[in-house]
Structure formats: structure tokens, C-alpha cells
Amino acid sequence: MFLHASRSQEYRTPFGARPTDGKVTLYFDTPVDAESITLCYTYGLYGFSYHEEPMCLTETMRDHKRYSVSILLPHEPGLLFYWFRFRLPVSNQGFPHEYDGNLGITEDTKSATLFYVAEADTQDGSGRIYYEPPRVGVDEDKYPYAWQITVYDKHFVTPDRMKGAMIYQIFPDRFSRDKDFRFTEMINASPREERVYHDDWYEDVDIEGKPQTGYLACDFFGGSLKGITEKLWYIKNLGIDIIYLNPIFEARSSHRYDTADYLRVDPILGGNEAFEELADKAKEMGITIILDGVFSHTGADSRYFNKFDRYDGIGAYRSFKTGEESMFRSWYNIYYTEEGEIAYDSWWGFPDLPNVDENNLSYRNFIFGDNGVVDTWTRRGAGGIRLDVSDELPDSFIRQMRDTLKNRTLGEGILVGEVWEDASNKCSYGSYRDFMLGRTHDSVMGYTFRTTILEYLQGYITAKVFNARLEGFRERYPAESYYCIMNLISSHDVPRAFTLFSKPENKETREEQQLISVPQEEVTRCTQLMRIAYALQIGYIGAACVYYGDEILMDGYKDPFNRRPYPWGRLKQNQRDQLEFVYTLSKLRTEHDVLRTGYYRTLFADDDVLAFERYMKPDGTDAFGKTMKKGSKSIILIVNRSEKVRGFRIDGEKVEEIPKKITDCGKDYITHDQEVAVPPLSFIFIVR
């Protein structure tokens, strides 16, 4: 047999991502007739060189041999990829069937060179035999995989308050008006002809815009920071430690990703004083505020670009057009087309979002210098920054952001990046990115977590594949980052999970998408799936991030329908029931430290059922060697995606299925019993 399993301590130790200057020992089992066993590897970040290490025979068994090699990891952070090469004799009868097949090998030589490479979605990280080696960084989809060791800075640490935190994401215009709201005051705060102002909080979002401008996402409902401050009691009751606010800086649109003034809270939201009051009140309640920072581009309608001359001073656009001096001119790439028209680089071609040159030193001084953006907002009470489109920012910019934020917060500031793919090996602009190496982000948004959960709960992948994919991420991310990853189910950029669980047919126009909602006959099933999703957020490693309204089953397909106002005072009975459920489950994480920073192990995974345990060591310490202060030493979560009851017995560190119903747990989501029946489309937390 051939075997290397990267997630097994028997074949790779220590597990997972490792610090610089550390050591890793690798083991590889081969049939007795295999020869010339070699470890092949390459490492770096922006460029790779190829290396080989002969492996030593460690043990000989009746039917196979075990080889090993220990390697000293690089001194510089980067990615190390490895695989195995060997030679296998060819007998007169050709290759044994298990090695033959489509390897492209003929029998005209005495032996053949083969490779043992990684394979996707295996439970233990085992691989397969292949006739070609991986080609790291070159058309990787066309070639076999290599195993990855993420080598991160050995001094890398993340804020403890982010590890296993409970996060609440708020789209500010749609969460809550304050009790003193006046419709005319909203209009007067920032009057513009292209805007649509909603007097009625409960009417639907605009999809048409004003005739002269068309749809620009410029409709406003009057949600404010003071409105959020008044609802802090509600947020705290959800067990929330951190509030992540979508952009609050002054901007033309209601989503505010077209920043107009980095140093000023939008007047409709209440201005700078409203933010400072929110930050102060939240701090008193033990809640940290993370701000959304958009630094790859600004708005065309901003005091920096000022395309429409709405701001005082000379913006970059007018400076280019007239030759007048502007301190912002060098931030943008503006030019004349062959037809003599003014053009400029913009984000994904949207003219309302001119790109900024993040390597421009004037721009960097504005962001990172004294009294700059980071300095100003940390002084005003921000406890962290979420970087919009991190993969479109230079690594050096993010490293400077990290250093600046940490220096101004005594190391406690939280830096999260928007990365939709596996951040440990994300490629953009021709190279792997410095995202999980301890020099840029603390962690990233968990879109990979969301995708994996939705695919599992909708029946597109099995529990085995679900487990294999999450184990792959856990293997590749440093623990300091993985325990901080912002695991989400919905967000402002994707359809709400409740809606997706009904598997709606995709529609192209906003008029069609506006009508998409969960059919009445699907409400119960979709509610059950939402509850399982939330249980997985609570039970699994990382920071559980709830998008406002998910706790009450808000419906909504793509933008802007995933950004509807929270229906205060009009909750239906099923929404109130869901809210009580969320209250109950949130207490598990707030009352049991093991769900925040405890160790993790998978106990059971088949087609429909997944079971895993969060636990501490016998001495009461967590995954970071710290003593846990409160709660149980072990909590097991069993998820049943199937349509039938599944019975289980907890035997020590094992979960064994019993093919009969043991007890009816009903709606008891938390139990101390060691023998349980998990209802269809449900779950059980076993607190031990």
C-alpha cells in the first residue's frame, strides 16, 4: 500500500500550519518493492524553488515499509508544498491492478517513476498515485495537488477577544431608526436630487431610482448609529461581543462603499458624535466595534475625486481637467482617451468608483499617518477594521495597515479581510498572497465556511465531504487565524440563507428577484435548516457572525433584497420563535469557553450525519494553552440532515450509531444524556 495522510499524527507531526523555524516530520508507507523514496518540496511566496530529500527507512512490516524525514521549516513566512516520488518495479505481468489504470505507464522498462500526490476531499488528507508531479503555481487545475504547509511568522498572535467571538453584522441604513427620527430631518441632513427617501420604514427597497439618474442604490430608510445605540440591549442579549458595521463614512449611496469622506460619519447616520456615543456605550457593555474600510477605491462623488463639484476644494478630476493643483491628483490614474475624453481607472469598470493607487505615499500618509484615517477612528473608539476587497490591495499596504492598527491599539485592534476563497493559498495579480502568514490580517471573512455549510445542508455534498473540506481549511490556516475566522451564513453581498434553503430559481431582473421568497410550504423545512446552520456556527471553530435579521428568518434574494429594513414591531410568530431559539443557543457559547477556544475533533461523518467535539485538555487548558474559566470541559454536536430519526451512543471519545430510536429528544437542543435520538433535520448538543 501507499499512504501519507497529512491530517493524521501518524504521518505528519505536528498537525497543520506551522511557525517559521519549526520542524515537521513526515512519514510515507510504501509496498516492500518500492524504491528510491524521495520527498519533493518547494517553498516561498512570490517565487518557488524545487528541492528533494531522501527519506529514511523507519520500519519494515510484512506487507509494507515506512519511510520518514524531518525538515526544518523556512525562516521566512511562506507556503511549503510537498509530495513524494518513488520507483516501482514492473513485473513480467505488468503493474498490479491497483497501480495500473490510466497512469500512462508501459511495461517496456524494469521500473517506473511515480508520484504520490494529494487528493481533494479525503477524510484524513490521504493522496493517490499519479504519473506526473504537481506543478505549483502553473495551471494548477490541470495537474495533481501538492500537500500544503502554511509557514507563518512565529511571533504571530491575534486578539483573544476575537477568538470564538459572537459577531453581529449591521447594514446601518436598514437596522433601526432612533426614537426621535424625523423624515424631514433625514432629507435635510444630506439632500441630493438622485436620492430616494423612504418615509415608511416597512415599504420595500427601491429598484428603479430617480428618472434622471436611474438605479444607483441611493434609497435611504433613515437607520442611524443612534438607532443602533438604542438597540444595544437587543444585540447584547444575542450574546454578541463584536459589532461589524458596513461602511458608515459619508458617501453618495446607501451601501457607502463609494467613500466620500473618510474622516466623517455620514450625516444621515448621525455624524461623528453619534459614532463616539455608540462606541462608548458598546464598550460599557463589553462590545467591540469593527468598521468597514474601503481603501482600494473612493467614490467619484467625494472630496478627493470630486467629479461633480459637490465638495469644497480642488478634487483630482477637476485638477486633471483644468490643471489646477490638488493634493489628491496623484492618488488616481486619470487620462485622455484617443477620442479626447477624460477617463480613469475604476473598480471593475464602475465609473462611480475610481481606483486609488495604494502605493502612492501621499495616500498612505493620509491613511496611516498621524491624524490619518486609522489614527482618527481608533481614537474615536473603533476596535478594528474589516478591509473591503483585500485581494485587490497590495500586501505591503495591508502589512502597513496591520502595523499601524496594532501600534495605535496596543496590539488589540482587529484586522479582518474580505477574502472569498481559501485565504491560505489565495492567488491574485500573479502570485500567492500574504494573507495567512501572520503579517497582514488577523483573519478573514468565512465565505468558505458559508459555502460548505450551504452545500451540505442543501444535500449537494455529504457529511464526509463537508468534514473533509473544513478539515482542509483547519489544516492550512494558522490556529491564531482559524479561531478568529468570521464564519457567516448570510451577508450584504449574498442572498440570505433562509431564502436559499428553499432553492429558488435564479431570476435576472430586480423586478423578478423582488418576488423571490420562501414558499409557505417550505417555511418549516427552511427554518430547521437555518437552525442547524446556526448550531454549526455556535459549535464550530471560529467567530460566529450573524447578519442582522438572520436571527428572525429575514427573507431576501440578491442585493438589494438582502438589505431590507429589520421589521421592528412586526415580527410574526415563527420569527419570535426563532429569536427565542437563537437566544437559547447563544448562551451555549457565552457560558462555555470550550466552544470559543477549545480543541476540535471529528467523531462521526457519514452521508447525512456529522458529529464533532469541542474539548479541553484534562488540565483544563484550551488550544492556546490557557486555562478555561467557565463551563463544561467537553461539548459534542451531532447534526442530522436526513429525513429520519438517528440514534447514537456516546462511548468515551467515540460516537456510535444505534439503528433504533433510544429516546425522543423533541425540541430539547441541549442534553447531558450519553444516548440520544436526533430528530430529522435537527441536531443535539451534548454537554458533558
Measured between alpha carbons, how far apart are the two ends of the chain, in Å? 39
The distance of Cα 381 from the centroid of its chain, to the nearest Å, equals: 24
Contact 53, 69 (CB under 8 A): yes
Give the whole-angstrom CA distance, residue 569 versus residue 572: 9
Contact 346, 337 (CB under 8 A): no
Helix, strand, coil content of the chain in percent (nearest 5): 25, 30, 45
Contact 176, 223 (CB under 8 A): yes
Strand (E) positions, 171-258? 196-197, 219-220, 242-245, 249-251
Amino acid 572 reads K
The distance of Cα 553 from the centroid of its chain, to the nearest Å, equals: 21
Contact 82, 147 (CB under 8 A): yes
DSSP letters along 19-74, please? Answer: ETT-EEEEEEEEETT-EEEEEEEEEESS-EEEEEEEPEEEEE-SSEEEEEEEEEPP
Nearest alpha carbon to residue 567 among 204, 26, 84: 204
Three-state DSSP at 261 gives: strand
H or E stretch covering 540: none
Nearest alpha carbon to residue 673 among 683, 660, 688: 688
DSSP letters along 401-460, please? Answer: HHHHHHHHTTT--EEEE---S-GGG-EETTEE-SSSSSSS-SEEEEHHHHHHHHHHHTTS
Exposure on the CB side of residue 156, measured as CA atoms within 13 A: 29
Give the whole-angstrom CA distance, residue 537 versus residue 614: 13
Three-state DSSP at 291 gives: strand
3-state secondary structure 192-210: CCCCEECCCCCCCCCCCCE
The distance of Cα 33 from the centroid of its chain, to the nearest Å, equals: 45
Amino acid 671 reads T
Exposure on the CB side of residue 277, measured as CA atoms within 13 A: 15
292 is catalytic: no
Contact 634, 613 (CB under 8 A): yes
Catalytic one of 258, 292, 418, 480: 418
In the block, residue with C-alpha cell 477556544 = 597
388 is catalytic: yes
Give the whole-angstrom CA distance, residue 379 versus residue 188: 29
Catalytic one of 173, 292, 388, 622: 388
Contact 389, 358 (CB under 8 A): no
C-alpha cell, 643: 429525513
Beta pairing, strands 646-651 & 670-671: unpaired
Q: Which residues pair with 71 in a beta bridge?
A: 24
Q: Find the largest Cα–Cα distance for the chain.
A: 91
Give the whole-angstrom CA distance, residue 428 versus residue 440: 15
Residues involved in catalysis: 388, 418
